[in-house]
């Protein structure tokens, strides 16, 4: 297990920066997800580590710079998006390739290949060619081949992107269990926030060749540092506001509509500052406009609006509520039976939420 350190890494293609002065530490045994839209630099970061692109700055393993090492001397397990299995070699030969390059003895190779076949449940497939395997099986061969060499770090470039939804969910569990069993430092690239949340210990959200926020996954979701991260981490209900007071540890904010909202958290705030308020869909309740039940929440923890659209999604019903400001908030209601939900487009409705669940973002 190795500690990986990127220091001031710059990658430039002609006059476009793929990575801008990026620094990052990855702890031994950690499972880190690099999350971001396409073109954000996440794959480039993996390729820097793999030794496939020229870069400025420094990459080190356990404090030792590897910048002068070519790709084949870096001892890295790389799983490519298209798996990159050698089509002219069998599963066994694919897995053995890295060991042969290390000039390992025949019995050693056979033993290690058999270990990998067992670890990744490839029994009975060892003598097949990649084109005779399903997508999920190819994925496991690619993992087996990368792990077989006991790499210092495992790099996964959108490894589940080519699989269908059901298989992807199964492989997520499998990948997570495998990583914990092998205990290898793993960096995983994805554009899917759910995948990042289900697999990783920590998430680094990237855009424009920079890390916009890095931290434990719950922190990234619960306390996004900026609007980009907030929006990338799931459907977010965001409304502009200005801070008007600070009282009893609560920031009081006013919307353009005049509605007042309280927010418990928020760093770097001051009265008069323009901000964005964010409330996660699952932290809100939807109340029928005519009823005002006693739920223990203050008037500053409610927002009035009008039902804009109702979408039936099976286990849930998605309701879009238009605020007086014109901003639209989405909320999901559990489908507990036909009688439980009667709102329709045009009905007045009220959103309620605790001040603790309001996230304040810098404008």
Partner 1 sequence: MIRVQRHTAVTLASAAVLVFMTLPLIVLFGVSLNEGSQQLFPPQGLSLRWFVNVFSRQGFVDAIVFSMELAMMATAVSVVLGTLAGLAIVRYQFLGRDLLITFFMSPMIVPQVVVGIAFLLAFTAMRIHSSFTALLVMHIVLALPFTIRVVVASLTRFRISLEEAARSLGASPIHAFFLVTLPVIRPGMVAASVFAFVASFENFTATQFLIWDRTTLPVEIFSYVQTENDPTGAAISAMIVAAVAILVASVHRYINIDAINHRH
Contact residues toward partner 1 (CB under 8 A) are: 50-52, 70-78, 80-82, 84-88, 97-98, 101-102, 129, 131-132, 145-146, 149
Q: Which C-beta is closer to partner 1: that of 90 or that of 226?
A: 90
Distance of closest approach, residue 212 Cβ to partner 1, in angstroms: 28
Q: How far apart are CA 264 and CA 280, in angstroms?
A: 15
Looking at beta carbons only, is 84 or 333 nearer to partner 1?
Answer: 84
Check residue 326 and give left, alpha or beta (phi > 0: left; psi -120 to 50: alpha): left
Task: Provide, rounded to whole angstroms, the least separation between the CB of residue 103 and partner 1.
Answer: 9
Of 153 and 351, nearer to partner 1 (C-beta) is 153
Whole-number minimum distance, CB 132 to partner 1, in Å?
7
Nearer to partner 1, 129 or 332 (CB): 129
Cα–Cα–Cα angle for 129, 189, 166, nearest 5°? 60
Distance, CA of 324 to chain centre: 33
- Give the torsion sign (CA, 119, 125, 129, 133): negative
- Closer of 187 and 359 to partner 1 (Cβ): 187
Q: Of all helices (H) and strands (E), which one includes residue 220? A: helix 217-222
Q: How far is the CB of 178 from partner 1 (least distance, A)?
A: 18
Output helix, strand, coil percentages for the chain, rounded to the nearest 5: 30, 35, 35
Q: How far is the CB of 37 from partner 1 (least distance, A)?
A: 21
Pair 157, 186: CB distance under 8 Å: no
Question: What distance separates the 2 farthest-apart alpha carbons in the chain?
Answer: 79
């Amino acid at each position: 297990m190795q500690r990986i350190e990127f220091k001031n890494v710059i990658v430039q293609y002609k006059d476009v920066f793929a990575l801008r002065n990026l620094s990052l530490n990855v702890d031994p045994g950690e499972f880190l997800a690099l999350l971001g839209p396409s073109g954000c630099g996440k794959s480039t970061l993996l390729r820097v580590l793999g030794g496939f692109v020229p870069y400025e700055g420094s990459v080190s393993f356990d404090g030792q710079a590897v910048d002068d090492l070519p790709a084949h001397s870096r001892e890295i397990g790389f799983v490519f998006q298209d798996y990159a299995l050698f089509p002219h070699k069998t599963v066994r030969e694919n897995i053995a390739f890295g060991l042969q390059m290390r000039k390992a003895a025949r019995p050693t190779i056979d033993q290690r290949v058999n270990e990998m076949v067992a670890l990744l449940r490839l029994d009975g497939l060892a003598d097949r060619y990649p084109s005779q395997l399903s997508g999920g099986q190819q994925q496991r061969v690619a993992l087996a081949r990368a792990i077989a060499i006991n790499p210092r770090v495992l790099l996964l470039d959108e490894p589940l992107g080519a699989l269908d939804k059901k298989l992807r969910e199964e492989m997520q569990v499998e990948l997570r269990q495998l990583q914990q069993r092998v205990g290898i430092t793993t960096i995983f690239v994805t554009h899917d926030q759910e995948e990042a949340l289900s697999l990783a210990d920590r998430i680094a959200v990237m855009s424009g060749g920079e890390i916009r926020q890095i931290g434990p996954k719950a922190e990234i979701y619960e306390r996004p540092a900026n609007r980009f991260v907030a929006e990338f981490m799931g459907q977010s209900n965001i409304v502009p506001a200005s801070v008007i007071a600070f009282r009893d540890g609560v920031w009081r904010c006013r919307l353009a509509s005049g509605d007042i909202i309280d927010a418990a958290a928020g760093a770097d705030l001051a009265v008069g500052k323009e901000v964005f308020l964010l409330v996660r869909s699952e932290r809100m309740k939807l109340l029928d406009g005519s009823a005002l039940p006693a739920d223990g929440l203050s008037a500053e923890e409610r927002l009035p609006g009008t039902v804009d659209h109702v979408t039936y999604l099976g286990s849930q019903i998605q309701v879009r509520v238009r605020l007086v400001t014109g901003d639209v908030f989405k909320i999901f209601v559990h489908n507990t039976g036909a009688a439980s939900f009667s709102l329709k487009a045009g009905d007045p409705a009220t959103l309620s939420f605790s001040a603790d669940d309001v996230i304040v973002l810098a404008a």
